[in-house]
Structure formats: C-alpha cells, structure tokens
Amino acid sequence: MHFMTLSGTTALAKSIRSRSRFRLRGFAMAFMCLTVLALAGIVTPTNAVARTYTAMVIDGDTGEVLHQYRANHKVYPASLTKIMTLYMLFDALDNGKVSLSTRMKVSKRAWGQAPSKLGLSPGSSITVKDAILALVTKSANDIAVVVAEHLGGSEVKFAQMMTAEARRIGMKRTTFRNASGLPNRGQMTTARDMITLAVALRKNHAKYYHYFSTQKFRYGNRTYGNHNNLLASYYGTDGIKTGYINASGFNLVASVNRNGKRLIAAVFGGRTARTRDDQMKKLLDRAYLKLKEDGEMAPPRPRFSPEDKILPADAQLLMAKRETRREAEQPGRIDTETVVSRIKPAEASSGWAIQVGAFSDQRRAQEAVLAAARTAPEALRLTRAAVEQQASETGVLYRARLLGFEGENDARAACAALRREKVACIPINAGGAG
C-alpha cells in the first residue's frame, strides 16, 4: 500500500512538471506575441496618429480664429488631398495648359487604383470638366491619378509639385506623396494647413469654386452623389470636401455662408461620417453664435416686408401646419391665399431666388411654395416666398419662387437640398432674366 502511494506521487509530480512546462511555453509564446505587437507599434507611425481629433474654425472674411484644437498637429489628409489636386488643375486651366474640354488619358496605373473610383478602362479618356466633377462628388482615386499624370508626367512628380505649391501658399506642415489621399506614411497635413488651402482656393480660383457645391454627377449610365452631407443638411454650406482612410478617421473641410458671413472649418478624426458631421455643425453653430454676440453678424431680415407683404419661409412653414389641420377638418380646401401673395415680376426682389414650379393655376403654385417650405425649412428659413404672375402666349403663368438669397451659391445649395428630397428646383437670378 505504501509502495503504491509513492508510485502515485511520482506520477503526479511528473504530470505537474509536464503541465508546468506547457504553461511556461504558452507564457513564452504570449510574451513574444506581445513584444512583436509592441515593436510593430513603435516602427509603424500609423498607430501613433490614427484617428487623432483636430479641428479649426475661422472667420472666412477676416481670418480670425474662432476655434482651434490641435490645429498644428500632423494628421493624414485622406481624400482632402484631392482639394490640392483640384487646385493644381484649376491653376492649369487659368494658365491655358488645359481647357474644360481637354481629354486626359487613363493609364494602367490609374485604372489599378483602389476604390473609390469611376473604373475607366486603360486607354480611355475623360474631359477635364468631368474629372473635376468626379473628384468633387465620387472622390475618384483613378481620376486623381489621371490628372496627376497629365499635368506632372507621373504621380510622384505631381506630388512634388503639389508640395511645392502648398509651401508657396503657406501650408507649412503639409507634404503630399500622391494625388488621391490613399494611405502613405509620408503624406501629412494639419487642420490649419487645410483651412489655408480652402482660403487660397476661394481667393485664387473663385470662378471654379461652384463645382464644390455639386450634389450629383452623372457619368455614363451611373449617377454619383456628393459625400459632403452638409450641402443638404446645414444651411449655407457651399463646399468643400470629405476624406476617409482607416488611419485618419473621417475628415471634412467645410465652407458656409450665412447672411453674408462666411466660416471655413476643418474637422479630422471622426469615428463615423455622422459623428464628424455632427461635430462640424456644432462647431459652426458656436462660431456663428460668437459672431452674433460680438455684433459681427448682420441683423436678421424682418419677418414681414412692407413692400410686397410676403412672409418668410419659416413663417410659411408654421402657417402651413395650421393649414394642414384645417384641410383635415375641411377635406379638399387649402386657404393658401393667407400664406403667399401675388406680385408682378417688376415688384420682385433683386438678387438670387429659386423656382420650384411654374403653373397655369395659382392655387397649385401656392401649394408648391408651401411644399418647398415644409421639405427644407432649414435651407429656406431666411427666404421670402412669392407667386409671380406673368403673361404668356397660352395665358397667365404663375411662377412659385423663394426670394432673398445672398448669392448664386446659396441659391444652388438650397436647390440641392430640395432636389435631395425629390423636389424640382432651379436657381434664378431675380435681378435678370428669369
């Protein structure tokens, strides 16, 4: 009995030693894995700057900084790089090197770029104008390379040209390595530098800036939407671009004009496109509130105009809700006469407007104005509504319009918001031919 106990003890000891050696080997393997991961983090700068949040907001007219957080911290620009690619293309247009109708060839290298892209086949070509729209809306990586190779001979040479131009306009901490913004360890920028680029673009290439407010781009049999959601969701936005790669998070440079006061802002490192957009809106709201408190914002337009007695669109929206309730009580009856007034074209306000329909029936024109006010109250809240009566060859025509936009870009942005909701809309220069 005593012998058997010793034997059992010996076997147990061997088993324990065996399991201990197994555990030690496991610990050693785990330690080696952790060491490799740690070293990878040291030698790969991507992890050190991944998804770093930085932001900046300036007064676009004076250059005053209204908000900044790590504005000089280096981050990856992602597709914001294409703003500089477009800047270089606008330079080439102004210098006569290309025209909007110039065709640029697609190389095998361009065709082989990672999405997002148009996917044009090698040997095909695209016009400069279509290339601009593809970069603004689709953020097409293949087209960025097409532009780079056409203007620089190679993408490497073009990136060097981009960096040199960046230095010239004051982007002190930016280096470009490609034309698209696809991942590259050496391609870095800052929130301050990107705002510097946005300011320079508006100053030096104002006549091309309207491309950044393009909501949709149709090429071939496909339609591509703009990734910049603020164009349709934040009143006054007229540009400029979004960007994303995994190492940077979601980035955005935005330009907004309200009541003649422009803000330019940059946000880097959003977790999602939605959180990035929400943060941008919050920063812009705070900046406009600060300007208002400092007395730098123009006073709001009066709710009623003594000349033509037309209600602002936000007032129409409230009244339209009451009319909806009355319609429910009296089916088929909508008293829109209390909401809008008829005016003659000669009495119309000057400046830019939008038109949401032209009808032979006044009631339908009035309903169209109400529908627009209900559909996009944010974009139309500072405008005034009018149903303009005009003689035509077939009788009287009633044009449903919203008046009082600061400029063409504001009118186009409002139309973009309405079209997004499937409402027909065209910008109109109310001071000229309509």
pLDDT for residue 134 is more than 70: yes
Which pLDDT belongs to residue 129? 97
Tell me the pTM. 0.62
> Are 163 and 169 spatial neighbours (Cβ–Cβ below 8 Å)?
no
Q: Which fold has domain 50-293?
A: Beta-lactamase (3.40.710)
Three-state SS string over 364-381 comes to HHHHHHHHHHHHCHHHHC
- Rounded to whole angstroms, the Cα distance separating 237 from 370 reads 23
| Both tokens assigned to 258 | 């309200």
Residue 152 exposed, middle or buried by CB count within 10 Å (0-12, 13-18, 19+) = middle
> Are 14 and 21 spatial neighbours (Cβ–Cβ below 8 Å)?
no
Strands 395-405 and 384-392: antiparallel
pLDDT for residue 42 is more than 80: no
Query: Dihedral of CA 398/400/406/408: which sign?
Result: negative
Which pLDDT belongs to residue 302? 35
Q: Which positions are annotated as active-site residues? A: 79, 82, 139
Same fold, 50-293 and 313-429: no
Which pLDDT belongs to residue 323? 41
Q: State the average pLDDT over residues 360-386.
A: 77
| Both tokens assigned to 50 | 């991944």
Query: Dihedral of CA 137/139/140/143: which sign?
Result: positive
pLDDT for residue 18 is more than 70: no
| Both tokens assigned to 390 | 């005009």
Please give the CATH architecture assigned to the domain spanning 313-429: 2-Layer Sandwich (3.30)
Which pLDDT belongs to residue 371? 78
Q: pLDDT tens, 255-308?
A: 999 888 999 999 999 999 999 999 999 999 999 999 988 877 654 443 333 333
| Both tokens assigned to 58 | 């300036």
When comparing pLDDT for 245 and 349, which is higher? Answer: 245
Q: pLDDT tens, 63-99?
A: 999 999 999 999 999 999 999 999 999 999 999 999 9
- Rounded to whole angstroms, the Cα distance separating 426 from 387 reads 15
When comparing pLDDT for 399 and 128, which is higher? Answer: 128
Which pLDDT belongs to residue 3? 44
197 HSE (CA, 13 A, CB side): 33
Alpha helix (H) residue ranges in 76-175: 81-94, 108-111, 128-133, 141-152, 155-168
Domain ranges of the chain: 15-48, 50-293, 313-429
Q: pLDDT tens, 167-211?
A: 999 999 999 999 999 999 999 999 999 999 999 999 999 999 999
